[in-house]
């Protein structure tokens, strides 16, 4: 904190007896120790205070406000129209909203698919690239490229591929004629999987980079030792390398859960969460944004999403802190 | 509602204000707090020589047409119009917080329930004084459309356009098809087209609103205008046998609709009509925008949706109307009134129609001599109608139509057999939404 510019001596501070300003915090003969000048304290106060205020108002207050709003109805016009309705929003959500349970289900499917397909595939790619094969930089870049792009852009790109009339797939296999028509975007049995292919395409690259970083941290001596013991490549991986990737696996699990819960942009661009691709995040948006919005109802959905997130995050945090305390 | 069209890019050179608005909008999307964007208000202080105007006309053609109207107004009155154009869909999404913040003096909006909603929330100023001057320019149906629920005027209509069944004259001539006027003729024609290897009715419902147009047509042909109004206002029940009858008719027609509608945009569906692969297409006259070749456009024609119940005939026409409203506390009230008076003149409408030939004037006084054949026909259809409806999402609560009706209709298109459970689900959800405020 002493890095604050222009440390003009405070008038109240006793004159420094030492040769230079570096001796400023030195003990004065009597009186208390002055670690910080008033200016330092103001600076510190601003540096800690402004972000705290921003954080509290933009994160905590809004989160608490939306929890409170979940028990009301509000069309977003003036504060006078907020009406307390108790649990009615939730009752309605759980019993009469035909999109709610599919949305929960799709969020779960999203997670299961991401953890079962692209994550192991990303690990596979990372292991291969770690072997320092030729052109490994090129492959690495190719697989990582989708991660750099925004999911919204990926949505546009895949729409060109899936468009049932003029898209790449249907044009190639001739499935855009009446009679044998594949509706990748509109068919509820297909569209979620179509979107998941696009999401996995990106997720694999993401996982690859995480695992690649983890693999770089594996002590080469371990590999050497297992090679000396005559272990095959698979045995080495299974019994030596993979167990050492434990911390990486935790990160991967958390990242994948977060990806599944915040899934939104790709689907929103793809078909706005219509038939078959409903997601909680999209239901929140559809109810809150608009010319006469149902802010209370949308907040109730957001609260459900928050509860699900907490159910995942809290055990993780508890486990992490416990480990730290033990260490 | 949010077709991410490239039109969002066609904003004028972004002034500090539009940038601020954009930031407000981003905060709205990001945080979901509509109040935040209320900060992005107008920075200009009251200038008696300027009227500010918020516009949703972000597409090139209407944007230019409006600019010409404002230029003509400036020439006539000496008042400058400071236009603030926002992407069409963004404007709609943010209208709520926009009107509660510091909106422009005048803003573009739609007639019908959507106008009345903001009028009843006191987010608009009544303009009876304007209507004393312009009232004579409009037919009674338009006057009715411009009033709020309290009987005061809140809206100046500029243009309107009908929904109808579009077809290619050459296709009908070549195959000897006749324009159907009754339900039986219509279904027979569909059957024949199918046999001839055409898609009888082009259909794309990816954006979820086109299906509402089909519902409206079948509904007021089957049950009449009054039932449409009652149903849209949340008074009639969706489990009423009358509604069931609408869906029975629709189910009968569905096999003749283009396959895979939920995955197709209306633009792509229109292309099948352009390519003569589809025989008919039920849409608004804006379908003409997809006909980029002049010869194709000249070949385009339409007919009113066929009669279902002779009691109601074809006397109702769906004709969404766009126009202007005055915000709750305009900075330059006198100037804004002058601008609205000008916008209600036949002169202003003619300037608009010169540039955009896909719509017709709301005023009966506007000169129709330069109309294209399609415009003339649209005009006749609208002026001959006994009742004008808007569109489902303009005649009913938008939160109901977007969160309940759009997914429900998409569900029906996919599984017409589920109709009973879909209808009882709509009714259940409708009750809570309409009860909420």
How close B357 gets to chain A, by Cα (Å)? 29
What mean pLDDT comes out for the span A51-80?
90
From B208, B429, B437, residue closest to A75, measured CB to CB: B437
pLDDT in tens, chain B (437 residues): 333 333 333 333 444 444 444 444 444 443 444 443 344 444 445 678 899 999 998 888 888 999 999 999 999 999 999 999 999 888 988 888 899 889 999 999 999 888 998 998 899 999 999 999 999 898 888 888 899 989 999 999 999 999 999 999 999 999 999 999 999 999 999 999 999 999 999 999 998 999 999 999 999 999 999 999 999 989 999 999 999 999 999 999 999 999 989 989 999 999 999 999 999 999 999 999 899 899 999 999 999 999 999 999 999 999 999 999 999 999 999 999 999 999 999 999 999 988 888 889 988 888 888 888 999 999 999 888 888 899 998 999 888 998 999 999 999 999 999 999 999 999 999 998 888 75
Q: Give the pLDDT score at B26.
A: 41
* Rounded distance between C-alpha atoms, residue B54 and residue B20, angstroms: 14
Residues in chain A with CB shorter than 8 Å from the CB of B268 are 163, 165-166
* Sign of the CA dihedral running B94, B96, B101, B102: positive
From A77, A163, A275, residue closest to B410, measured CB to CB: A275
From A99, A164, A292, residue closest to B117, measured CB to CB: A292
Please, what are the domains in chain A? 101-292 (1.10.3720.10)
pLDDT band, residue A34 (cuts 50/70/90):
low
From A88, A166, A181, residue closest to B260, measured CB to CB: A181
How close A28 gets to chain B, by Cα (Å)? 51
How close B106 gets to chain A, by Cα (Å)? 17
Q: Give the pLDDT score at B28.
A: 41
Interface with A, mutate which of B32, B39, B97, B195 (most A CBs under 10 A): B32
Residues in chain B with CB shorter than 8 Å from the CB of A271 are 206, 262-263
Nearest chain A residue (CA) to B258: A178
Superfamily of domain B50-161+321-388: Periplasmic binding protein-like II (3.40.190.10)
Is the pLDDT assigned to residue A137 strictly greater than 80? yes
Residues in chain B with CB shorter than 8 Å from the CB of A67 are none
Nearest chain B residue (CA) to A298: B32
Q: Give the pLDDT score at A30.
A: 54
B50-161+321-388 and B163-318+397-435 share one fold: yes
**Structural domain spans, chain B:** 50-161+321-388, 163-318+397-435
Interface with A, mutate which of B32, B263, B267 (most A CBs under 10 A): B263
* Rounded distance between C-alpha atoms, residue B238 and residue B212, angstroms: 14
Interchain proximity A292–B433, CB inside 8 Å: no
Interchain proximity B428–A96, CB inside 8 Å: yes
How close A175 gets to chain B, by Cα (Å)? 11
Q: Give the pLDDT score at B5.
A: 34
Nearest chain A residue (CA) to B202: A178
Interchain proximity B32–A284, CB inside 8 Å: yes
Interchain proximity B32–A288, CB inside 8 Å: yes
Interchain proximity A294–B402, CB inside 8 Å: no
A82-91 tens-digit pLDDT: 889 889 999 9
How close B364 gets to chain A, by Cα (Å)? 31
For the purposes of burial, counting CB atoms within 10 Å of the CB of B118, is it exposed (0-12), middle (13-18) or buried (19 or more)? buried
Q: CA dihedral in degrees (A193, A199, A203, A204; nearest 10)? A: 50
Residues in chain A with CB shorter than 8 Å from the CB of B123 are 77
Interchain proximity B425–A98, CB inside 8 Å: yes
Distances (CA, A) of A244 to A3, A217, A247, B197, B246: 41, 9, 8, 64, 65
pLDDT band, residue A327 (cuts 50/70/90):
low
Interchain proximity B1–A290, CB inside 8 Å: yes
A290-317 tens-digit pLDDT: 776 888 999 999 999 999 988 888 888 8
Superfamily of domain B163-318+397-435: Periplasmic binding protein-like II (3.40.190.10)
Closest to B395 (Cα-Cα) out of B37, B45, B111 = B111
pLDDT band, residue A204 (cuts 50/70/90):
very high
From B31, B264, B403, residue closest to A165, measured CB to CB: B264
Interface with B, mutate which of A291, A295, A306 (most B CBs under 10 A): A291
DSSP string across B76-98: HH--EEEEEE--HHHHHHHHHHH
Ordered alpha helix ranges (H), B35-182: 60-77, 88-100, 113-120, 128-134, 140-145, 169-175
Which distant-in-sequence residues (6+ apart) come within 8 Å of B293 by Cβ? Answer: none
Q: Give the pLDDT score at B35.
A: 41
How close B101 gets to chain A, by Cα (Å)? 11
Interchain proximity A294–B264, CB inside 8 Å: no
* Rounded distance between C-alpha atoms, residue B366 and residue A172, angstroms: 52
How close B411 gets to chain A, by Cα (Å)? 7
The number of C-beta contacts closer than 8 angstroms across A and B is 136
pLDDT band, residue A32 (cuts 50/70/90):
low
What mean pLDDT comes out for the span A113-133?
91
* Sign of the CA dihedral running B44, B45, B47, B53: positive
pLDDT band, residue A23 (cuts 50/70/90):
very low
How close B436 gets to chain A, by Cα (Å)? 6
What mean pLDDT comes out for the span A180-201?
89
Is the pLDDT assigned to residue A220 strictly greater than 90? no
The ipTM is 0.77
From A66, A76, A294, residue closest to B34, measured CB to CB: A76
């Amino acid at each position: 904190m002493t890095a604050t510019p222009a440390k003009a001596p405070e008038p109240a501070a006793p004159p420094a007896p030492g040769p230079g300003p570096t001796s400023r915090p030195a003990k004065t003969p009597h009186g208390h120790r002055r670690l910080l000048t008033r200016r330092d304290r103001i600076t510190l106060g601003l540096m800690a205070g402004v972000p705290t205020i921003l954080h509290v108002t933009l994160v905590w207050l809004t989160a608490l406000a939306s929890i409170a709003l979940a028990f009301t109805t509000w069309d977003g016009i003036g504060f006078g129209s907020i009406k307390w309705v108790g649990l009615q929003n939730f009752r309605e959500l759980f019993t009469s909203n035909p999109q709610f349970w599919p949305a929960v289900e799709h969020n779960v499917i999203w997670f299961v698919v991401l953890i079962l397909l692209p994550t192991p595939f990303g690990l596979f790619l990372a292991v291969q690239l770690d072997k320092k094969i030729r052109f490994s930089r090129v492959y690495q870049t190719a697989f990582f490229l989708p991660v750099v792009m925004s999911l919204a852009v990926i949505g546009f790109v895949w729409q060109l591929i899936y468009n049932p009339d003029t898209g790449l797939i249907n044009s190639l296999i001739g499935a855009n004629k009446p009679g044998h028509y594949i509706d990748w975007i509109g068919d509820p049995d297909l569209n979620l999987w179509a979107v998941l292919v696009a999401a996995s395409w990106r997720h694999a690259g993401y996982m690859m980079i995480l695992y690649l970083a983890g693999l770089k941290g594996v002590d080469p001596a371990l590999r050497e030792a297992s090679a000396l013991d005559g272990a095959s490549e698979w045995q080495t991986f299974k019994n030596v390398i993979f167990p050492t990737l434990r911390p990486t696996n935790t990160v991967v699990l958390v990242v994948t859960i977060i990806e599944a819960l915040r899934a939104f942009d790709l689907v929103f661009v793809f078909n706005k969460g219509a038939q078959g691709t409903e997601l909680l995040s999209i239901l929140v948006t559809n109810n809150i944004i608009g010319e006469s919005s149902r802010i209370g109802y949308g907040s109730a959905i957001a609260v459900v999403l928050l509860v699900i997130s907490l159910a995942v995050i809290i055990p993780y945090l508890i486990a992490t802190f416990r480990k730290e305390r033990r260490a | 509602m949010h077709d991410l069209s490239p039109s969002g890019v066609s904003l004028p050179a972004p002034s500090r204000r539009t940038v601020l608005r954009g930031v407000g909008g981003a905060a709205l999307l990001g945080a979901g707090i509509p109040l935040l964007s209320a900060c992005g208000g107008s920075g200009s202080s009251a200038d008696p020589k300027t009227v500010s105007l918020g516009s949703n006309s972000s597409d090139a053609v209407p944007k230019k047409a409006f600019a010409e109207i404002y230029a003509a107004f400036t020439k006539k009155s000496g008042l400058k119009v400071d236009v603030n154009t926002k992407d069409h869909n963004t404007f709609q999404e943010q209208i709520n917080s926009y009107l509660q913040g510091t909106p422009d003096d005048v803003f573009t909006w739609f007639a019908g329930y959507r106008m009345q909603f903001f009028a009843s929330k006191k987010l608009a100023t009544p303009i009876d004084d304007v209507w004393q001057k312009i009232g004579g320019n409009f037919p009674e149906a338009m006057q009715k459309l411009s009033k709020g629920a309290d009987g005061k005027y809140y809206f100046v209509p500029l243009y309107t356009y009908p929904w109808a069944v579009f077809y290619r004259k050459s296709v009908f001539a070549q195959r000897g098809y006749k324009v159907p006027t009754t339900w039986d003729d219509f279904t027979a024609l569909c059957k024949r087209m199918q046999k001839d290897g055409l898609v009888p009715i082009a259909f794309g419902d990816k954006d979820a609103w086109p299906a509402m147009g089909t519902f409206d047509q079948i509904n007021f042909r089957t049950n009449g205008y009054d039932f449409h109004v009652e149903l849209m206002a949340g008074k009639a029940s969706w489990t009423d046998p009358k509604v069931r009858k609408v869906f029975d008719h629709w189910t009968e027609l569905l096999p003749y609709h283009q396959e895979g509608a939920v995955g197709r945009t209306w633009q792509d569906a229109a292309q099948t009509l352009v390519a003569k692969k589809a025989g008919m297409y039920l849409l608004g006259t804006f379908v003409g925008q997809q006909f980029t070749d002049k010869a194709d456009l000249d070949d385009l024609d339409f007919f009113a949706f066929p009669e279902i119940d002779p009691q109601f005939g074809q006397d109702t026409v769906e004709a969404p109307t766009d126009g202007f409203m005055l915000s709750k506390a305009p900075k330059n009230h006198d100037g804004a009134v002058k601008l609205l008076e000008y916008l209600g003149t036949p002169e202003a409408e003619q300037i608009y129609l010169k540039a955009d030939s896909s719509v017709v004037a709301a005023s009966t006084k506007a000169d129709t001599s330069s109309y294209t054949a399609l415009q003339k026909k649209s005009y006749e259809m609208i002026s001959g109608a006994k009742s004008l409806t808007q569109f489902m999402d303009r005649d009913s609560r938008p939160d109901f139509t977007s969160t309940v009706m759009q997914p429900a209709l998409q569900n029906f298109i996919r599984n017409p057999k589920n109709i009973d459970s879909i209808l009882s689900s709509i009714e259940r959800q409708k009750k809570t939404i309409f009860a909420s405020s």
